[in-house]
Amino acid sequence: MTAGPATTTRPASAPPTAVRAVDLHKTYGSGAVAVHALRGVDLSFGAGRLTAIMGPSGSGKSTLMHLLAGLDEATGGEVHLGGTELTALDDTRLTLLRRERVGFVFQSFNLLPMYTAEQNITLPCELAGATVDRAWHDTLVDTLGLADRLTHRPAELSGGQQQRVAIARALITRPEVVFADEPTGNLDSRAGAEVLSFLRTSVRELGQTVVMVTHDPTAAAYADRVVLLADGQVAGEITDPTPESVLTGLDALRGEGGRG
Ligand SMILES: Nc1ncnc2c1ncn2[C@@H]1O[C@H](COP(=O)(O)OP(=O)(O)OP(=O)(O)O)[C@@H](O)[C@H]1O
């Protein structure tokens, strides 16, 4: 499904948009103690792309990801997931949307310890009352190299294997977007590289859309595009990043802000 309708105003090379933030604001607290975590963010995340969000500590990365994923409420502006405006939904609809249309991968894996790898992977289908698409399940399990680990519990798996189970769980419902918050933060560099290449494979070969927050320029270089945040605003972006170009971009931010 690469050929889009000829009626859009997008340049031919741009992918369709999976998620869009429009003039997004988030303020924590009020009055003298108010923290303006996001101050007018306009961003589009392309479908079938891996996008990394980077920036200094406190620049608003997690806040942005939580708003994009419908995990927290904006103070102003809009978030659109496909044709749905998240910011207009009530809690019940938001919960359903998160369950059915969004996948999550966390730094700490968040697997259920008493469930096997297989049970963890299929849990989102169970929660959504949906049957497991066996062909897709098998594709994920094969691609992620988990076929001989399915009966193991998380404690019997390495960190990298646990994160691969978490990725399979995030993808099992074929969500429109997978949000990954520091997915390699708890892994050594080898397991981290493994997880990142699987995330990239899920994008390149399985057509998924991934938005990932990371502090690591090497991790960000797996992305198609890096968005740089500083002081709650978009401060730049890098297309087809390399670890070097990401480092240069981050250094430039620190130079400008002087308070990285
Ligand atoms: N629940 C909260 N209450 C008050 N302030 C908050 C809350 N969550 C975040 N903040 C503040 O909002 C700003 C942005 O925080 P956020 O966690 O989004 O940054 P970040 O870029 O993800 O940081 P890090 O890289 O350190 O995880 C920070 O100044 C932070 O202290």
> Backbone phi, then psi, for 58, in 5-degree steps?
85, 5
Pairing of strands 233-239, 84-85: unpaired
Q: Which atom of ligand 1 is nearest to the CA of 62?
A: 22
Dist CA 17 CA 251 (whole Å): 29
pLDDT over threshold 50, residue 1? no
Which residues' Cβ are closer than 6 Å to ligand 1?
28-29, 35, 37, 55, 57-63
Residue range(s) defining the domain that contains residue 125: 46-73+90-257
> Backbone phi, then psi, for 209, in 5-degree steps?
-115, 125
Q: What is the percent of the chain with per-residue pLDDT over 70, rounded to a whole number?
A: 93
Residue 1 lies in a domain: no
pLDDT over threshold 50, residue 179? yes
Which two tokens mark 173?
């419902």
Q: Which atom of ligand 1 is nearest to the CA of 26?
A: 12
| Coil, strand or helix at 6 | coil
Q: What is the percent of the chain with per-residue pLDDT over 90, rounded to a whole number?
A: 73
Residue 12 lies in a domain: no
Q: Which of 199, 136, 144, 201 is closest to 172 using CA atoms?
A: 136
Dist CA 35 CA 16 (whole Å): 33
Q: Which of 216, 253, 213, 244 is closest to 45 using CA atoms?
A: 213
User: Is the Cβ–Cβ distance between 147 and 175 less than 8 Å?
Assistant: no
> What angle, rounded to 10 degrees, do the helices at 189-204 and 159-171 form?
20
Query: Residue with the nearest Cα to atom 12 of ligand 1?
Result: 37
Residue 201 lies in a domain: yes
pLDDT at 108: 86
Residue 241 lies in a domain: yes
CA-based torsion, 86, 229, 224, 7: positive or negative: positive
pLDDT, tens only, 250-259? 999 887 654 4
Which of 25, 62, 231 for mutating ligand 1's site (highest number of atoms within 8 Å of CB)? 62
Residue 128 lies in a domain: yes
User: Is the Cβ–Cβ distance between 45 and 212 less than 8 Å?
Assistant: no
Residue 215 lies in a domain: yes
Residue 160 lies in a domain: yes
Query: Residue with the nearest Cα to atom 1 of ligand 1?
Result: 28
Q: Which atom of ligand 1 is nearest to the CA of 38?
A: 14
pLDDT, tens only, 208-245? 999 999 999 999 999 999 999 999 999 999 999 999 99
pLDDT, tens only, 116-161? 999 999 999 998 888 999 999 999 998 888 999 999 999 999 999 9
pLDDT at 7: 43
Query: Residue with the nearest Cα to atom 28 of ligand 1?
Result: 58
Return all residues near 130 (Cβ < 8 A) that are at least 6 apart: 173
Total structural domains in the chain? 1
Query: Residue with the nearest Cα to atom 29 of ligand 1?
Result: 58
Q: How confident is the model at residue 52 (pLDDT cuts 50, 70, 90)?
A: very high
How far from 260 is each of 27, 84, 95, 168, CA to CA, in Å?
20, 35, 35, 35
Residue 178 lies in a domain: yes
Question: CATH number of the domain that 131 lies in?
Answer: 3.40.50.300
